[in-house]
Structures are given as structure tokens and as C-alpha cells.
Amino acid sequence: MKSPETVARVCRAMIDAVEGKTRITVKCRIGIDDVESFEFVSRFVEIIAANAGVDHFIIHARRAWLKGLSPRRNLTVPPLNYPIVYRLAEAYPDLKFVINGGIADIPSVVEHLGRVDGVMLGRKVRDDAWFLADMDQHIYGVPQSAIPSLDSVLASYLAWADETQIKLGTRETILARPLNSLFRGSQGRVFRRHIGSLLTKATSSREESKAGHPRVMFSEITNEALVGAQSECSAKLLSHAKDASSLEPEMTVHPVEAAEA
Ligand SMILES: Cc1cc2nc3c(=O)[nH]c(=O)nc-3n(C[C@H](O)[C@H](O)[C@H](O)COP(=O)(O)O)c2cc1C
């Protein structure tokens, strides 16, 4: 953001290179270190729009503290300033503005959508994947009956993980993260424990084996964890059968065929 002319040149080169096949957008913050103002961010937007032709901006409504604040703390410490983003949307009606930063519930999404063109969600979706189903229902009007089941979400995810990510070399621990928020309650905790120990085993056996050793499909590891978690939970339910009033599982999980997706 310190050099909008450079950003514009980079964007122009990208736009020329993709020949219209991909939309080039810019994501930025509202300031840097001790500079945060409408004038600063609007100058940045104007130069990029005028010199590169970018018309779609995603604005994280915080400044970036480049001196002495870690990337992680930069997600929480600099205060949010949504009105600056609203002002940009009002000042440049021909450009598209998507707001980002700290948005984590449906009423806030609705409120922002009344002021800007879109909302980008980061950590909320990372930590609670089912929030996307809430969004489908409340923002896009998708009926409850059309919301995908846990089994179908899992089947699609595992197919994607096996078919694309394993070949790219993405680590299983990274692939397992989104699953953590799919399974809730006590069954979820048991599942996380099972998959955690299977992942540790898979990683150490890969490290011991020679390079080029084929990797186990991520779906196999997940299914083994699901079977283990399911049988542990069923055993618990049986052992507490006499006092079953509060022991309904929060979510039933079934091992799935990734190929079904
Ligand atoms: C684990 C993680 C990785 C991120 N990686 C990127 C990235 O590569 N590029 C980027 O522009 N923002 C990245 N961000 C920032 C998010 O896109 C987003 O701006 C930020 O999390 C604030 O939105 P939120 O409050 O909805 O999470 C990342 C955030 C997290 C938590």
C-alpha cells in the first residue's frame, strides 16, 4: 500500500497475462502503521483502478502494523473501521467493494450487504464450516431440504483431498483441519482424538519410509478415524444405557466412500 503505482503495474501485468480468463482483484487493508485514513486508502484504490483497470477490491477493515506485530496478532489487534469501507463504496459506485474482518454472524453479514457489494469471511468459516449452510439459507434463500448432509459434504471433501491435494503434497494435518469443525459435540472430540493419532502414525511412517513411497489416501485415514470414533461412542452409549436421557449423539457420522462425490 506504500506504493500504489507498483501495485498497479503488477496488476496490469497480471491482467495482460491472463487475457480475460481470470478476474484480477485486489485485497488490501485501510492503512499501514500510523497511517489510517480515507484519503490514504482512496488514493490507493484510485491509482490502481485508473492505471490497471482493477474494479474489484476486498478491503480488510483494519490497518496493518508492519513494525513489531506478528501476522497473527495483526488479525486482532488493529481496531476494525468499517465506516471507511462504506465510504469507499459510496465514493466509487462504479467499483466493487467487498468488506472483510471480524464478521462472524448472519445479522452482521446482512447489515454489511446493505452498504457494500459483498462480504468476505475468513476465520468464522475456517472454525465453523456449517456457517456456510446458515449463509445458504439466510442469505441465498436455499431451503433447509437442499442443504447438503454431513455425509455428502464429507464425501466431496475427501474426493477433493484424495484427487488433488495428496498429489500436490499437501500435508494430512492441514487437510484434517476443516474436518474439525464439521463434527460437533462429544462425538466430534472423540473423532478429533482418533484422527490425531492416525495422522501422527501416518506422518512418522512416511518419514521412516523411502522417498517416493505412495501416500495413504486421506479418505482412508478419515474413514478409519470415523469407524474408531463411532465404535467408541456406541460402546459408551451402551455402557450408559440405563441412564440414557442425555446421551443422544450430537451428530451421527458414517464412514463414506470418497468416490461417491
Ligand atoms: C490461516 C490464515 C491464512 C490467511 N492467509 C491469507 C492470505 O494468504 N492472503 C490474504 O490476503 N489474507 C490471508 N488471511 C487473512 C484473511 O483473508 C482475512 O483477511 C482475515 O482473516 C480477516 O478476516 P476474518 O476476520 O473474517 O478472519 C489469512 C487468514 C488466516 C486466519
123-179 pLDDT, tens digit each: 999 999 999 999 999 999 999 999 999 889 999 999 999 999 988 889 888 999 888
Say which DSSP state 77 is in: S
Q: Provide the mean pLDDT of the chain.
A: 89
Distance 101 CA to ligand 1 centre (A): 9
- Each domain of the chain, given as residue ranges in start order, spans 4-146, 150-260
- Domain 4-146: CATH architecture, name and number where available: Alpha-Beta Barrel (3.20)
pLDDT of residue 247: 40
User: What does the chain come to in residues?
Assistant: 261
**Distance from C-alpha of 158 to C-alpha of 206, rounded to nearest angstrom:** 20
Distance 99 CA to ligand 1 centre (A): 13
Helices (H), the chain: 4-18, 38-52, 82-91, 106-113, 123-127, 131-138, 150-160, 166-168, 172-180, 185-208, 218-239
Listed in sequence order, the residues at least 6 apart from 224 whose beta carbon sits closer than 8 Å to its beta carbon are: 194, 198
Half-sphere exposure of 21 (CA within 13 A, CB side): 4
190-247 pLDDT, tens digit each: 999 999 999 888 877 766 665 556 677 899 999 999 999 989 988 876 776 555 444 4
**Distance from C-alpha of 218 to C-alpha of 253, rounded to nearest angstrom:** 17
Closest-CA residue, ligand 1 atom 31, reads: 123
Pocket of ligand 1 (CB under 6 A): 27, 60, 75, 100-103, 121-124
**Which triple of cell numbers denotes residue 221?**
485415514
**Count of C-beta atoms within a 10 Å radius of residue 10:** 15
